[in-house]
Structure 1
Amino acid sequence: MEDIELFRRLGLALAIGLLFGLERGWHTRDEAEGTRVAGLRTFGLTGLLGGICGWLVPFTGPTFLGLAFLAVTVLVAVTYWAQLGADDDLGLTTEMALVLTFALGAAALLGDMGAAAASAVVATALLSLKRVLHGWVARIRQFELAALVQLAVISVVVLPLLPDRPFGPGQTLNPHELWWAVVVVAGLSFLGYAAMRLAGAGLGAVITGLFGGLASSTSTTLALSRLVREDARLGPMLAIGVVLAGSVTFLRVLVLATIFAPGLLGPLAPPLVAMAVTGFAGAGFLALWAGQQRKSAADLDGLTNPLALGTALSFGAVLVVVLIGTHYFRLWFGEGGVYAAAALSGLTDVDALTISVARLSRTDLALPAAAVAIVLAVSVNTAVKTGIAFAVGGRAFGLRILAVHGTVLGVGAAVLWFNG
């Protein structure tokens, strides 16, 4: 290792220690001198020690580094034991930070400097957010924790175990992708609930709608409609989230189509952009219409199931039926069934249809016909989301969505007709 590189890495090890020490020193700034476990200097020296031990590994072998790490850990443990006898302080945060400082100091010499620096910044952020994190933990209710654990199980444990290959008629059913749809619906349901708990129903609905539209506006509509079914007073605010999700979807589909077929930008942009702008305007109208009906996070006590796993599983079952139906429809009607297939695809999700039609437009399908097929798919999907709002969220909620979605569909049809 060249001298300049060595000094850079040792400097990073020292900087990591000083960063930890600055946060810990500020945290214990009111304690008397000599009573603190470690301060700015101790953390700085610990980081530098880890860097030096990492530097010596090529000369002494990895065993030396392991023994040095063990020695630091034992020293920290003894210090903690002595401090425990003095003031009964059961906190281990500073002690663990010292051990981590040594480890990151060694990593700065032996591994990727960027990863070591990023880890130090994240760890320091966690240390500085003590009150915020403890406040969140204090506010979590038992059923919310259970829902979070269930979401982790279905996404982290179950999803990777499912085969990621096609089965069934026409190889249309992929267990991994189908379960991913279940995870998306359940995750968006939890996201919507969490956003409203933290930011209130108004801002939470906006956050959920914008990010949900990037993932799946259909799933977002289903998740938000379910929340309205449990508490109808949330309807005015959550309608905004549904409309925003649909509006973002129009722009997402436009980007996706032009990535696979840049020639589609001309015929596809006018109707989709017009639909998106109309949807955003409609969301603003709904916000004004909601008036004083906003609900704070404290008003969500009536909601008891932030995950909605049953709703997500039902959505997955419907998706299976639609995928099989779409396969046979295409098989029976051949190339002439492109529009029909587009309409059927709109019943669930439009991304797969968008990519398929975009690829066809480069060889076997005229650009105007491809644009019509994609607009048809998103229009059917918009109508389906309106139906979901009525069926799951209730009549009042559905009427709010219908007022905007009906206008969006009319604008899209008009622009498509004039450009055709």
Structure 2
Amino acid sequence: MHPHYSPVMDTLDLFQRLSVSLAIGLVIGLERGWHARLEAEGERAAGFRTHALAGVLGGVWGAIARGGGDIGLVALAVAFATFTGVIAFYRYRETGHDGTFGATTVVAAMLAFALGAFAVVGDVQVAAAGGVVVAALLALKGVLHAWVQRLSWAELRSGLMLLAMTFVMLPLLPNRPIDPWGALNPFSLWLMTIMIAVLSFAGYAAIKIVGARRGVLLTGVGGGLVSSTAVTLNMARMAREHPEERNRLVASALVASATMMARILVVVGVINAALLSQLAGPVGAAGLALALVALFLLKSGGPEGDDDGQIVLRNPFELATVLQFGALLTVISVLAKAVTVYAGDIGVYALAAISGIADVDAITLSMAQLGGAGSLGLEVAARAIAIVVAVNTVSKTVMGWIAGGSEVGWRLAIASGLAILAGALGLLLSPAASAGV
């Protein structure tokens, strides 16, 4: 039962809750009314006013049910069923008249009534949020339908499998260390794997929806959420083939790397907020340096062209991709714990340097978990993540130089040098360095 629930409410509370019920109906009705704005009066089963009234009706019945105990709840259920039957009947007549099919209007009216009632009998804030979400889903019909049409079977299959493994498998995993060193917590490892996959998929979806040629910034940001290394290689190859667009394409690669650094800060902040204060300076400064160089290249690169290059990225929701990252995270977690115990800080830094050649996420997650716990201090974890970011930045520069040639390479090298310098200054000015650690 909600902590503020009371069968009897004062007049002001009731007015406030009924106002929310009306607002829910209005916001849902506004979308429905706009959708059917070209239809003549009397040709709609439920429009703006009907949905607004449905929200108020639900609120009124909620108030009646709230003071009536079990009988009141039964009465609310009967009222909801009756209302649904009436709306369904008129919608049936409307579809028969128009020769169309569709149940969205009926479901929207049912939700307006139900959320209006919930605003009175339950949590008013949750009810209000539900109304906004319903209206947004209704308004995004075109976007969602277009997205479904562009969704491939492989993406659908991978997404469904990952959802099943998240909401079915995750609760079954033990939420405790299962190894003698306390490094392997199946629940935490899988949860972090899913978090990285979701962040990566956000960028993957952005590129699929917007397109790889719709703008350097969008391409760089979206690609940086998936794989800044892949974006760097693609842009370097495209710059070799289209030298007139070299600055613009290199800028996109730099934006991807800056986005990767922002993603690192987000991940660290979610897992270990205390570590974020140590890391925000160096990683944030490095990302800012890359963004500024990218802006300079964009300004000097002329108008955006219409090259034929495409960014090809693997679906991060592929089961094989998720499992590979999970395995890598497991190995890195064990190694990080081992070097912390047996090799000390130097071992941690060496592991970070080796890991940074190909990947930053695994060591970042491991350091975020271990930082401030036991033998690994926050400053050591922050330095390890700074090292992995620096090594990865150099690694991408070398790859880009090989793929795009010297003209691309020296641009990447200058930007990377400035980013590493800015990161080093940020590390020196971090709270740990300022405290003399």
Range of TM-score over shorter length: 0.7 to 0.9
Among candidates 330, 334, 341, match of residue 331 of structure 1: 341
Indicate whether 1:248 and 2:255 are aligned. Answer: no
- Root mean square deviation, CA, Å: 4.3
Q: Deviations over 1:355-410 (max 9, x none)?
A: 7565789xx98xxxx75773354123431465478689974499576654344335
Amino acid aligned to 1:84: T
Structure 1, 174-183 or 96-105: larger mean CA deviation: 174-183
Number of equivalences: 398
Among candidates 75, 85, 91, match of residue 102 of structure 2: 91
Indicate whether 1:117 and 2:128 are aligned. Answer: yes
* Counterpart in the other structure of 1:42: 50
Change (3 A) 1:204 1:88: same
Indicate whether 1:316 and 2:316 are aligned. Answer: no
Among candidates 165, 181, 189, match of residue 170 of structure 1: 181
Structure 1, 77-86 or 253-262: larger mean CA deviation: 253-262
Amino acid aligned to 1:204: L
Whole-Å separation in 2 of the counterparts to 1:104 and 1:251: 37
Whole-Å separation in 2 of the counterparts to 1:56 and 1:379: 63
Among candidates 47, 64, 67, match of residue 75 of structure 2: 64
Whole-Å separation in 2 of the counterparts to 1:244 and 1:155: 29
Secondary structure of 1:170's partner? coil
Q: Deviations over 1:289-314 (max 9, x none)?
A: 98778779x96596674535434433
Amino acid aligned to 1:104: L
Whole-Å separation in 2 of the counterparts to 1:13 and 1:232: 57
* Counterpart in the other structure of 1:132: 143
Change (3 A) 1:403 1:294: farther
Secondary structure of 1:34's partner? coil
Change (3 A) 1:239 1:157: farther
Change (3 A) 1:55 1:152: same
* Counterpart in the other structure of 1:13: 21
Q: Deviations over 1:130-157 (max 9, x none)?
A: 3333333333333333343344334333
* Counterpart in the other structure of 2:420: 409
Whole-Å separation in 2 of the counterparts to 1:98 and 1:286: 52
* Counterpart in the other structure of 1:215: none
Indicate whether 1:78 and 2:89 are aligned. Answer: yes
* Counterpart in the other structure of 1:342: 349
Unaligned runs of 5+ in 1: 213-218
Change (3 A) 1:374 1:294: farther
Amino acid aligned to 2:350: A
1:70 deviates by 1.2
Whole-Å separation in 2 of the counterparts to 1:359 and 1:301: 40
Instruction: Calculate the TM-score normalised by the size of structure 1.
Output: 0.75
> For the Cα contact (< 8 Å) 1:379–1:409, is it kept in 2?
no
Change (3 A) 1:99 1:324: closer
> For the Cα contact (< 8 Å) 1:16–1:104, is it kept in 2?
yes
* Counterpart in the other structure of 1:203: 217
Whole-Å separation in 2 of the counterparts to 1:315 and 1:184: 11
* Counterpart in the other structure of 1:239: 253
1:170 deviates by 1.0
Secondary structure of 1:37's partner? coil
1:115 deviates by 1.8
Unaligned runs of 5+ in 2: 1-8, 240-248, 356-361
Change (3 A) 1:104 1:394: farther
> For the Cα contact (< 8 Å) 2:62–2:120, is it kept in 1?
yes
Secondary structure of 2:181's partner? helix
Secondary structure of 2:37's partner? coil
1:338 deviates by 1.8
1:34 deviates by 2.0
Amino acid aligned to 2:340: R
Amino acid aligned to 1:12: V
1:37 deviates by 0.7
Whole-Å separation in 1 of the counterparts to 2:137 and 2:322: 33
> For the Cα contact (< 8 Å) 1:13–1:106, is it kept in 2?
yes
Structure 1, 55-64 or 287-296: larger mean CA deviation: 287-296
Whole-Å separation in 2 of the counterparts to 1:63 and 1:14: 23
Q: Deviations over 1:169-190 (max 9, x none)?
A: 4121122233234324433442
Indicate whether 1:55 and 2:67 are aligned. Answer: no
Q: Name the % identity.
A: 34
Whole-Å separation in 1 of the counterparts to 2:310 and 2:208: 7
1:167 deviates by 2.2
Whole-Å separation in 2 of the counterparts to 1:3 and 1:99: 27
> For the Cα contact (< 8 Å) 2:170–2:190, is it kept in 1?
yes
Q: Deviations over 1:75-98 (max 9, x none)?
A: 222223333332222121222222
Equivalent positions of 1:213-224 (< 5 A) are: 220-221=227-228, 224=231
Amino acid aligned to 2:219: A
Equivalent positions of 1:19-38 (< 5 A) are: 19-38=27-46
* Counterpart in the other structure of 2:246: none
Whole-Å separation in 1 of the counterparts to 2:398 and 2:171: 35
1:416 deviates by 6.7
